[in-house]
Amino acid sequence: MSAIRLNNENFNQVRNNKGLSLLDFYADWCGPCRMVLPLVDEIAAEREDLLVGKINVNDNPDLAREFGVLSIPTLVVMKEGKILKKVSGARSKDQILDLVGA
């Protein structure tokens, strides 16, 4: 499965997901974000058990505000609509997998 580009219109699939969700808040102009995006895509392809979503903060400021995103990239792990973990800054693939309990 590939990462889903999330926005206000389709975000309910995350809120309604009973399993784990990994969200990547990013911006196209952000260098560290460009380092993390391919890793998030790899994880989405490898982990069928995760709903993986990417949220462009410039296009979706309401979602960024809702999640208290103050710096990017920010990674959020959710389950059943609740935030379990939230970290900011670039991470390695192993560090991202650790967030989701791989």
Phi, psi of 59 (to 5 degrees): -85, -20
Of 3, 14, 22, 30, which is the active-site residue? 30
Does the active-site annotation cover 30? yes
Of 3, 33, 75, 97, which is the active-site residue? 33
Nearest CA-CA partner of 72 in 38, 39, 23: 23
- Give 73's DSSP letter: S
Does the active-site annotation cover 33? yes
What are the residue numbers of the active site?
Answer: 30, 33
